[in-house]
Amino acid sequence: MSGKFVVSLTRAQDDADRATVAFVVANAALASEKEVVVFLNIEGTRLSQSGYADDIHEPGFAPLRELISSFVDAGGALYVCSPCFKKRSLDEDKLIAGARIVGGAMLVEFMGDGCPSLSY
């Protein structure tokens, strides 16, 4: 079984429930000693911007900014889809800690053979 895990996240403020659950699962995977990447793509790329997640708090869960911070602090990686980022005219100078703009090849390389993944 792979020691890696990927969560692909296409949502942000447009679906706070999915965005939040994605990071709950990503944190659980880290706690299970997996090497974890959250791939922020489509609208999810907006979460890479400093301050964007500050007001996203789905009832019943920790605030999203805390879930993201815990994920990064525990060693999780945030891959940000380069074309999606550029399409939305986001600002590289506002990237949050742990976020890295990458192309699809980087994600494919990380996943290799048999890497489990979930999409939200």
Rg (CA), the chain: 13
> Residue 14's pLDDT is what?
96
CB 12 within 8 A of CB 46: yes
Amino acid 114: pLDDT? 85
* Residue segments in the chain with a per-residue pLDDT below the cut of 70: 1-2
How far is 76 from 36, CA to CA, in rounded Å? 5
Stated pTM of the model: 0.95
CATH number of the domain where residue 15 is located: 3.40.1260.10
Distance CA 27, CA 21 (A): 10
Paired tokens of 62: 């920790």
Q: What pLDDT sits at residue 62?
A: 98
Domain count, the chain: 1
Q: Write out the residue range of the structural domain in which residue 69 sits.
A: 4-119
